[in-house]
Structure 1
Amino acid sequence: MGRNAPLSGRVVLLTGADGPAEAMTRRLLSQGARVALAGAVAASAGLATAPGSRVLALPCNLDSPAETGRVVDTVIDRFGRLDHLVNLVATRTCPVPLMELDPLSLSHTLQRDLVMPLAWTQRAYWRWMAAHGGSVVNVVANAVRDHPQDTVLAGLTELTEWLAAELTPQVDVHTLVPNPAFATAAYQAGITDVLPDVLTRRGNRIRGPVLVLTEECVDPPRAA
């Protein structure tokens, strides 16, 4: 890794579900970034404890918007900047019809997968990106199929479109989602591969705020 690495000198805050967090962190480090991990991702084995690590682990309550302020402030205090925010959105499987779904369970899902990504974005924007620019990428952590996750994905798509329009040109906002036929393991490998390009807007993969990742991992089209 040299000074010309795409993310050299930049700071990435990775929040949310664990899933592919460790592989994504290693990929970001290989591209020159310093990485802060918040929430479940902070427990990624071996990344934050090595001497001289460029990784900062910040355990926090991912159900509390108030925690975002403490984490973002700590990242900027320790690393001096915050260029990129990556929210890993869990979208865990809940295979029951909506008529049988506990409304409180759905409320918790929406809090975790929609409200919290917005809370992280707001704090990062007002604390750093409004003045210095940056990017936000929401990453659906698992390949999901049907069930209530479709509601979350629809909401996340709308949120992304709204934020992208509101924050341009100062901040780029994107969401990475899987093609419905994509297996989870292949999808997680794919997002690890494309994430640096999405953060830095390199190549021809970036076509609109919502990007659907295919098995080819090349040129994901804009979601309908």
Structure 2
Amino acid sequence: MMRLNLYIKRIFDIVSSFIAIILLLPVWIGVTIAIKKDSPGPVFFRQTRRTKDGKVFQMLKFRSMVVNAENMGAGLFNYQNDPRVTKVGRKLRDTSVDEFPQLFNILFGSMSVVGPRPCVKYELGDFDTLNSKYKKRFQMKAGLTGLAQIKGRNDITWDDKVTYDNQYVDAFNKFGVLEDVKILFLSVFKAFKSENIYENKEDDSLNDEEAAKRAEEEIIRIAHMPD
């Protein structure tokens, strides 16, 4: 039964992503023009992330920050009023349009419509030494949306995200693609609300760079705690 559910899931990924790519053609054109007029740099942002079994791939997004932003300021973290975010980029993030290029990742098989959000390759530290809780989420292919996204997106801790991701793994094993249908339905409503887009600082007295460094260290520490 699990094999059948995974087969149906993949067929849905191919069909839905292909149709969406075609229907969104005006969006591809409009966003491309807007990004090029707004700031210098490429239209697309490519980042090495992890999917099922920790396999790495190049995830696509519309560029919403200045070039080389990952090596500036808060790094992987995005707090309110982040100066690295461009004017057009802020609108893309508020509407989640910056995520649309991941439809190509879905079409070609590195991602799925529903699944745990793909972490940056080094975000959780060494993959091979992750504890069992953090490795469990990698039993499913990374998704465009997932249970953690509808439960809180960036407003919850990484540990909470992993808890929800693992709940999704268990639910898919039990209910199959019906779980994906439920999450996809709820995600549509969540996207229109533009909630929980930015991450919260543990200590508001810290600047973005200090807060990001402390958060990164804590994420990696928890991800490698003994089982």
TM-score by length of 2: 0.30
RCO higher in structure (CA 8 A, sep ≥6): 2
Q: Which has the higher strand share?
A: 1
Q: Which has the higher helix share?
A: 2
